Amino acid sequence: MSDITNKLIFDLIKQHYRPYDMHEEFNRAFSAYQTGDCSNPHAPDSIAAQAWDLGVEAAIRYARATAG
């Protein structure tokens, strides 16, 4: 796929996770998944933990959507 297509897929997936995609933890988790270390460092039931978990979920969805 092209870089433009990948960016569109990324933006579409990210929109699904509003407002959590605006948290830094979401972005960190997305990147952590791509490096293979996605264990959640945040306190359970915190907003940061939720944003982290959703960032990992978004990264998984992105990886599946762009696999080819």
Residue 43, pLDDT score: 96
Give mean pLDDT, residues 38-64: 96
Would the pTM of this model clear 0.75, i.e. be above it? yes
Residue 4's pLDDT band, with cuts at 50, 70 and 90, is very high
pLDDT, tens only, 11-34: 999 999 999 999 999 999 999 999
Residue 46, pLDDT score: 97
The number of angstroms, rounded, from the C-alpha of 9 to the middle of its chain's C-alpha atoms is 12
* Contact indicator for 49, 42 with CB cutoff of 8 Å: yes
